[in-house]
C-alpha cells in the first residue's frame, strides 16, 4: 500500500484504528496532543509530527478522530491546523462525532480550495475498533468517498452511504447515539424494576438479550448495566453528554421536538454534577438505581 495517510487523534478509538491502518500497509503520519500515546505507532513505522499541519501531504488524505467540534476546529482551521495544507485533490476524512454545522463549514472551506470533506463517523467501542468491526456512515462528494473506500475497509465491517450532503452522516451518528442512550435508560429502568421485586438483574438482562432484544446494544450494554460495571470507561460519560448536546442542537435547528432527548440530557447533566464524567456513559443507570432507593 503506497499511499500515505495523515491521522490526528490517538485516543481510545483513534489508536486502534491507526494500528489497523499500519497493519493494512498504509504509511502513516500521525499527530496527537499527547505525543507519548503515539510511541507504539512509531515503533511500528508511523511518522510522528509536532503539529496537525504536518500530517497533511498536498492532495493527500487526513483522518481525524477527535473529541468534539472545538478540537476539530483547532486541528483544521487553527493556527497549526492542516486546513490549508491539503490542497487540490486532498480529502479530510472526518470520523469523529461532531455537529452537522461544523461539517458544513469545513466542507465549504475545502471546496473553495479544491479539496473535499468526507464525513465518516463510526458506531463501535474501542474493542470493535481494534477488531476492525466498526460500522461506518459516510456522506460527501462521490469521487472523494470512492477514493477513501479502501481506507474505511481497513477499519470497519460495513459502510453505509447517506449521499452528498457533508452533514448527513453526522446527523445519522447523533441520531444513533440518541437511540443507544435511550436503550440504556430503558434497560436501567427495567432492570431496577426487576431488582426491586427480588429478581436478579443479570437474570432478566440475559433472558431479554437472548430473546426479544437479541442485538449488540442490549447484549453488551445490557450486561454492563445489569452488573453495574461503570468503570473503566470504554466511552466516557462526558463524551456521551456532549453527544446529547449535539442531538438537541440538531433538533433545535430542524425544529424537531425530542422530549426524551431532553430527559436524557438531564440524566447526563446530573451525572456530570455528581462527578461521574470519567465513568462509562452507561453510568446513567446509577441515577435510576438512586431514584429507586437502591444506592
The pTM is what?
0.95
d(CA 64, CA 54): 13
| Phi/psi at 271 (5° precision) | -65, -40
Amino acid 295: pLDDT: 75
Amino acid 201: pLDDT: 97
Given 37, 133, 173, 295, the catalytic residue: 173
Element (H, E) at 47: strand 47-48
CATH 1.10.1040.10 boundaries in the chain: 171-291
d(CA 171, CA 281): 20
User: Which 3 state secondary structure label does DSSP give 143?
Assistant: helix
d(CA 221, CA 10): 24
CATH 3.40.50.720 boundaries in the chain: 4-164
Amino acid 2: pLDDT: 61
Range 171-291: architecture per CATH: Orthogonal Bundle (1.10)
d(CA 12, CA 37): 10
- Residues 134/128, Cβ–Cβ less than 8 Å: yes
| Phi/psi at 24 (5° precision) | -80, -5
Nearest 5°: the CA angle 178, 184, 189 is: 130
223 catalytic residue (yes or no): no
Q: List CB contacts of 268: < 8 A, sequence separation 6 or more.
A: 181, 237, 240, 241, 244, 281, 284
Q: List CB contacts of 56: < 8 A, sequence separation 6 or more.
A: 6, 62, 82, 85, 86, 90
- Residues 62/5, Cβ–Cβ less than 8 Å: yes
Q: Per the CATH hierarchy, to which homologous superfamily does domain 4-164 belong?
A: NAD(P)-binding Rossmann-like Domain (3.40.50.720)
pLDDT tens, the chain, 295 aa long = 567 899 999 999 999 999 999 999 999 999 998 888 888 899 999 999 999 999 999 999 999 999 999 999 999 999 999 999 999 999 999 999 999 999 999 999 999 999 999 999 999 999 999 999 999 999 999 999 999 999 999 999 999 999 999 999 999 999 999 999 999 999 999 999 999 999 999 999 999 999 999 999 999 999 999 999 999 999 999 999 999 999 999 999 999 999 999 999 999 999 999 999 999 999 999 999 999 999 7
By residue count, the chain amounts to 295
d(CA 77, CA 56): 13
Amino acid at each position: 500500500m503506497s499511499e500515505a495517510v495523515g491521522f490526528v487523534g490517538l485516543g481510545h478509538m483513534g489508536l486502534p484504528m491507526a494500528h489497523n491502518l499500519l497493519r493494512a500497509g498504509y504509511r502513516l503520519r500521525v499527530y496527537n496532543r499527547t505525543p507519548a500515546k503515539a510511541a507504539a505507532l512509531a515503533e511500528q513505522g508511523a511518522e510522528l509530527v509536532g503539529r496537525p499541519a504536518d500530517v497533511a501531504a498536498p492532495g493527500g488524505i487526513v483522518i481525524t478522530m477527535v473529541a468534539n467540534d472545538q478540537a476539530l476546529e483547532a486541528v483544521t482551521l487553527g493556527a497549526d491546523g492542516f486546513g490549508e495544507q491539503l490542497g487540490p485533490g486532498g480529502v479530510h476524512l472526518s470520523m469523529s462525532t461532531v455537529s452537522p454545522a461544523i461539517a458544513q463549514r469545513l466542507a465549504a472551506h475545502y471546496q473553495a480550495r479544491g479539496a473535499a470533506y468526507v464525513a465518516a463517523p463510526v458506531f463501535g467501542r474501542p474493542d470493535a475498533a481494534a477488531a476492525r468491526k466498526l460500522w461506518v456512515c459516510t456522506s460527501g462528494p462521490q469521487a472523494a468517498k470512492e477514493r477513501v473506500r479502501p481506507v474505511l475497509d481497513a477499519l470497519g465491517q460495513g459502510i453505509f452511504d447517506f449521499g452528498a450532503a457533508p452533514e448527513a452522516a453526522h446527523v445519522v451518528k447523533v441520531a444513533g447515539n440518541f437511540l443507544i442512550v435511550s436503550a440504556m435508560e430503558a434497560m436501567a429502568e427495567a432492570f431496577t424494576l426487576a431488582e426491586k421485586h427480588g429478581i436478579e438483574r443479570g437474570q432478566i438482562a440475559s433472558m431479554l438479550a437472548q430473546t426479544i432484544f437479541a442485538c449488540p446494544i442490549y447484549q453488551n450494554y445490557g450486561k454492563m448495566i445489569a452488573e453495574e460495571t461503570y468503570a473503566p470507561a470504554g466511552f466516557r460519560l462526558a463524551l456521551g453528554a456532549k453527544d446529547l448536546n449535539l442531538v438537541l442542537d440538531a433538533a433545535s435547528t430542524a425544529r424537531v421536538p425530542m422530549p426524551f432527548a431532553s430527559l436524557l440530557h438531564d440524566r447526563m447533566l446530573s451525572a456530570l454534577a455528581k462527578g461521574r464524567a470519567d465513568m462509562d456513559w452507561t453510568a446513567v443507570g446509577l441515577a435510576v438505581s438512586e431514584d429507586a432507593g437502591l444506592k
